[in-house]
Amino acid sequence: MVKKDISNENTEENTEERSGDGYVEIKMGGGWYMTVSLAHSDRFEKEYVELAKERGGMKKSRFNLNPAHVRMLGEALIKFADDNGL
């Protein structure tokens, strides 16, 4: 089996983003998208940020995040990528 080296390829095409009011969609490949959206809970009457993995318009997995922690998560991801050469 030959392993494909993608380290030199342009990764911009894999991270195509579409955004709007409270919604970001990142194309990951193979028909998968990572979506980040601002949602509202009717039960608790609070807003939250939903991170989801979607394919074919159906959400396969989700994670709800308190909006107060969104910036910390983003900074932690950037630090992780920098520390690991990603």
pTM exceeding 0.85: no
Asked, for residue 33, whether it belongs to a domain, the answer is yes
State residue 22's pLDDT score: 82
**CA dist., res. 34 & res. 28, Å (int):** 7
Domain extent at residue 48: 14-83
Q: Are 23 and 35 in contact (CB under 8 A)?
A: yes
Asked, for residue 4, whether it belongs to a domain, the answer is no
Report the CATH number that the domain containing residue 62 is assigned in CATH. 3.10.450
* Six-digit token string for 80: 């992780």
Is the confidence at residue 69, as pLDDT, over 70? yes
Asked, for residue 5, whether it belongs to a domain, the answer is no
pLDDT per position as a tens digit, 1-41: 444 444 444 444 444 556 567 888 889 888 899 999 988 88
- Overall domain count for the chain: 1
Asked, for residue 40, whether it belongs to a domain, the answer is yes
Is beta strand 23-29 parallel, antiparallel or unpaired with respect to 32-41?
antiparallel
